[in-house]
Structure 1
Amino acid sequence: MPFKKADPNIVQFARKVLLDVSGDDAGCLDGQSKICNWLQNQLKDQVEARLCELYLMNWLAVDDEATTKKLLSEVYSEIGLRNLVPALKDKYPFLRCVHSSPLKNIGLRVAKAIAAHRKSKSGARAGQRVGWIKYKSWAKEWCSVEYDEPGKGWDVSEFGWLKLTFGTDRDGKRLSLRVRMVRPPKHIAQARTCRIIREGKDRYYAVFTFKKQKKARRPFARAVYIDPNQKNFGYALDAEGKAFEIQNLQRLREMECTLDALKAKRDKCARKSLWVDVVHQDGTTSTHWRPSRKWTSLNQALVRLELKVREQRKHFQFSLANQLFRHYDVVGIGDYVPENADHGKGRKYNRAVRNRSMHGSFKDTLQWMATRSGKRAVVLDETGTTRTCHVCNHVVEGGIHPSIREWDCPDCGTHHLRDENASQNGLRRLLESLGADAGSPQMHCLGPVQIIGRCDWRFHPQGWQGIPQGCANVNLMRLPEYRQRCVGTSVPPGGDTRAPGSTLRRFA
C-alpha cells in the first residue's frame, strides 16, 4: 500500500504543554511507558529471530519463496512489523492494558530504525552511520506514548483538560485518565496528534502536532544580513542602515563549568556498589548492581542541569528567529560553523568552541521559521567578507587576525570595524542574490549602506517582564527603536537614544 506524499503547501509544527500530574496519575503514565518499552525490546527479539531463520534457510539452501517473502515483509516493512503486535497481544495479555495506537506506533518506530540502518549501510547517508537497533532501558530513557490519529485514544474537547484512553483490564473494563493541562494554547482543539513525554524525574508534557496552510511569500521589502562570529553570536546590518550586535547566550559558560564539576564528582563515586537480589512471583531470583545514593543524586542533578541548558539554547534560537522575522522579510546569514580542529588556544578552548556554538542548529531553526511565516532565509558563502574593504573592494592579503577588531584599508584609507565591514559585504551579496533570483523582485545594491544607529541585542531567559526599565539585559521579544540620525551626532536635549532595556553603543 503506497503512502500518501506530504502536501508541500502544508506546514506542520508542534506545541509542548506541561501536565499537572499527581502521584497516582504519574504511576499510570509510567506503567504505559514501561509496557511500550517492553514491547519495543520484544519486537527486536522477533526481528532477530526471523533474520536467523532467513540465514538458516540460505545456509541450508531451502528454496521456499513464500516463506522467504513473508519473513522479509515482517522484518523490512512498516506494515509487516506493525502486524506482529496483535499476535504478541494474544501471547502476553498485559499488552491489552495499553491503547492500540501507542502499540502500533512502537512497531512503526522499530521499522523506521531498521530502515535508517539499512540506508546508512548502503552508503546513501555518507558519514552518518546508524547502528542496529538496541535494547532500550526504561530506567535510563522514558519511552514516549504516542497517539498519531486525531481524537483516537485522546480528547481535548474540554478546554484545559486532556483525557487519555488506555486499554482494558482483565475484566474487559476500559481504562482512562483525565489530566489538567497548564496554559494550553487557544487552538488546542485543532491538534492532530498527541505524544506523552517525561523530562527529568517528575515533569510530564503533552506534545501536540498541528497543521496549517503555508503562507504565501511576501514581497521582499526588508532585508538583514547576520555575520556569525565566535566573540559574539553575530553582527547584523539591514538595508536601512540599522546595525546591532547579537550577544551570546548569557551564563552558558558558568552552567557548563557546573556540569563539568558535577560529572567529575559523579565519576569519583562507585557506580556498581550495591548487589541487589530480586525474587519474582514465580520463585526465580535475579541479581543486579545498583548505584550508590550519592552517585544517583549527583546523576539526577546532572540530568536536570543538562535539560536546563538544552532548553535555554532552544529558547534563545527560537526567540532570535521570531524576532528577526517579525521585522524583516529576508534574513541572510553566513555559512560559518566552527571547525572541529585545533584553534591554537588549548584543549579547553577547542572544546568550548565546539560545545557552545549554535550556528549550525540556528540555521535550521531560521529555515523552519521562514517556512512557517512565509518569508525567506538565505545562507550565503561568507568567504572573504572580513578582509575585503566594502568601499573600494580591496582584499587584504593573508587575511586579518581575529584579535584585530578595527583596521584601516591600505588602499582607500577607510577605517573599518571588523564585524561591521563583514556585514556590509554580506548584505551586498544578499541583495545581489535576491536581485538575480527570478522569483524575487529586483533589489538593487547601491553600494555601502549608511549606518544610522548601532545597539546591542541581549537575551534574558526569564523574559521581558522580569527586566527592570533601563537594564542592560534586553529580551529579544522587543526590538530596540533606532533614531534616524547619523553616527557621531550628539544626543538632542531631552532625547534618550536608548530604548527601554537596550543599550545603544557608539563606536565612532
Structure 2
Amino acid sequence: MSLVFNRKIEMFFKKEDEHSLDGQSKICNWLYNQLVQAARDDYEKGSPLELLKGRNLRDYATNMKESHPFLWTVHSSPLKNTALRLKDAYDRFFTKQNAYPKFRSWKEKWFSLYFDEPNKGFKLLDSKTIQISFGKNDKGQQIRISGSLKESFSLRECEEIKTFRVCKQQGNRFYGIFTIERYANGEKAFILAKKQEEKECKQQEKEERERLKALGLEIPKPKKQKKKKAKTEYPAFPEGTRWVSLDPNHKNFFVAVDYQGISYEMNKLYQTKYWDRKIDEIKSKRDVCNRKSRKGITTHGNSYWEPSIRWNRYN
C-alpha cells in the first residue's frame, strides 16, 4: 500500500528565467482561451469536431502547433494539460459541480505549469537545485532553466515524484508543488520489475508484428483480456477475539451483528425529535432579534452591526 502526499517549496530563478516562466504561462493561458472559443464555436455549429468527446480537445490543441509555431516553445506536458484542464472543467459543469467555463485573465491569475509524468520536463540536479524544461527553439534545441529551492529536498529509496506543478503566488514568488508517492517496504522494487516486464512484452509483440508484416502475413489482433474482479479480503482476527459490526441506516438507529452471528436492532431515539424541535424554537426566537441589532462605528470610522442582547443570549 502506498501513501501519496504533496510538498510545496519556494523556488528562486534569475530575472530573465522568471520572464521565461511568465512567457510559458502566458502562452498556456492564451491556448486555454483559444480552446474555450473553439469549443463554443463547435457547439454552435452542431459539434462536427466533437471537441468535448474523449481526447479530441487535447489532439486539437496539439494540431494547433502547425498554425501557431510559437507553441513549440512550450513543453508538451503543460501544453496538453491545458486542454485536459478545460475538458475537466466542462465535465464538472455537465455534472453540476462547477460553473460554465469562462475565459481566463492572466493578470488576475497566473496560469500554472503542470507536469503530470515522473521526471519528464523537470529534474532534481541535487537537493537544492531543480531543472525545468521548456519546448524547443528555432534551431530545434531544448530550452532549459535552472533554479534553487529554498529548502533541501531529497527522496527516500521508497519514494518517487509523480507530478510537478509550477505556480506563482503572493506577488512574484514562485513555488514548486511536488506530488510524492511513498511505497511500503519492497513494494517499489516489485512495481518497477512489473513495469519492466510489461515493457519487454510490448517490445516483443512489436517485433513480432514487424516480422509478420515483412513476410506479408496476417497480423493477429491482440486478445482482450477480461479483468478479473478482485476478491474482497476480510480482516483476520486472532482466535478468541470478540467483535461486533454496526450498520447505521434510516429505518432504525443501527443494526449490529456480533462474532456469534447474532443480530441486534436498535430503534431510533425518540429524544432526537424532541431536541430538534427545541432547537428550531430557539432559532426562531433568535431570528426575530435580528431587527433589533445596533449599528456601531469603530475608532477608524468603519461601521459594523452588533446583535442585540437577547440574540446573544439565545445564540
Say whether residues 1:192 and 2:169 are aligned partners: no
Please list the CA deviations of residues 117-155 of structure 1 after superposition, one character each: whole Å capped at 9, or x if unmatched: 1111xxxxxxx5x22111101011000001110011100
- Is 1:94 the counterpart of 2:61? The answer is no
Cα displacement (A) at 1:343: 9.6
Structure 2 gaps of 5+ residues are 186-234, 236-282, 297-310
Give, in angstroms, the shift of residue 45 of structure 1.
Answer: 1.4
The alignment's TM-score, normalised by the length of structure 2, stands at 0.57
Among 30, 35, 39, the alignment partner of 2:31 is: 39
**What amino acid sits opposite 1:76 in the alignment?**
K
Which of 116, 121, 128 pairs up with 1:153? 121
CA–CA separation in structure 2 for the residues paired with 1:16 and 1:348: 44
Q: Distance in 1 between matches of 2:139 and 2:155?
A: 38
Q: Structure 1 pair 10/97, CA: closer, same or farther in 2 (3 Å)? A: same
1:166 aligns with 2:114: no
What are the superposed Cα offsets for residues 281-319 of structure 1, whole Å, 9 maximum, x if unpaired?
A: xxxxxxxxxxxxxxxxxxxxxxxxxxxxxxxxxxxxxxx
Distance 1:131 1:87 in 2: 28
Work out the number of aligned pairs and report it: 199
From 175, 181, 194, give the equivalent of 2:149: 181
2:4 maps to a residue whose letter is Q
Aligned in 2, Cα 1:54/1:182: closer, same or farther, shift over 3 Å?
same
Query: In 1, distance between residues paired with 2:26 and 2:150?
Result: 25
The amino acid that maps onto 1:195 is R
Alpha-carbon offset, residue 187 of structure 1: 2.2
Residue 15, structure 1, aligned to residue 2, structure 2: no
Within 2, Cα distance between the matches of 1:148 and 1:80?
19
Which of 97, 109, 118 is the aligned partner of 2:94?
A: 118
Deviation readout 1:222-246 (Å, 9 max, x if unpaired): xxxxxxxxxxxxxxxxxxxxxxxxx
Task: Find the aligned partners of 2:166 and 2:288 in 1 and give their Cα distance.
Answer: 43
- Does the CA-based 8 Å contact 1:114-1:132 persist in structure 2? yes
Q: Distance in 1 between matches of 2:10 and 2:145?
A: 16
* 1:172, distance to aligned residue in structure 2 (A): 1.5
**Could you tell me which residue of structure 1 aligns to residue 107 of structure 2?**
139
Query: Are the structure 2 counterparts of residues 50 and 156 from structure 1 closer, same or farther at C-alpha, using a change threshold of 3 Å?
Result: same
In structure 2, relative to structure 1, the CA distance for the partners of 1:50 and 1:159 (3 Å cut) is: same
Corresponding residue number in structure 1 for 2:52: 75
Q: Secondary structure at the match of 1:190?
A: strand
* Alpha-carbon spacing, 1:199–1:54, altered in 2? closer, same or farther (3 Å): same
TM-score (norm 1): 0.36
Q: What is the alpha-carbon distance in structure 2 between the residues aligned to residue 202 and residue 211 of structure 1?
A: 29
Runs of 4+ in 1 over 6 A off after TM superposition: none
Return the offset for 1:111.
0.4
Alignment of 1:52 onto 2:29 = no
**Partner of 1:301 in structure 2?**
none
Which amino acid counterpart does residue 20 of structure 2 have in structure 1?
Answer: C
Using the TM superposition, give the Cα deviation of residue 81 of structure 1 relative to its aligned residue in structure 2, in angstroms. Answer: 1.1
Partner AA of 2:150 in structure 1: V
Write the deviation string for residues 445-473 of structure 1: whole angstroms up to 9, x where unpaired: xxxxxxxxxxxxxxxxxxxxxxxxxxxxx
Aligned positions of 1:66-465 closer than 5 A = 68=48, 71-72=49-50, 74-77=51-54, 79-120=55-96, 130-187=98-155, 190-213=160-183, 346=293
What 5-or-longer segments of structure 1 have no aligned partner? 1-8, 56-67, 121-127, 218-338, 350-400, 405-508
Distance 1:158 1:119, change over 3 A: same
Question: Does the CA contact (< 8 Å) of 1:50 and 1:75 recur in 2?
Answer: no
Q: CA deviation at 1:191?
A: 1.6
Q: Which amino acid aligns with 2:181?
A: K
Asked if the contact 2:115–2:165 (Cα under 8 Å) also holds between the matched residues in 1, the reply is yes
Q: 1:207 to 1:52 in 2, by over 3 A?
A: same
Taking only the aligned residue pairs, the percentage that are identical comes to 30
Equivalent pair of 1:15/1:209 in contact (CA under 8 Å): yes
2:211: which partner in 1? none
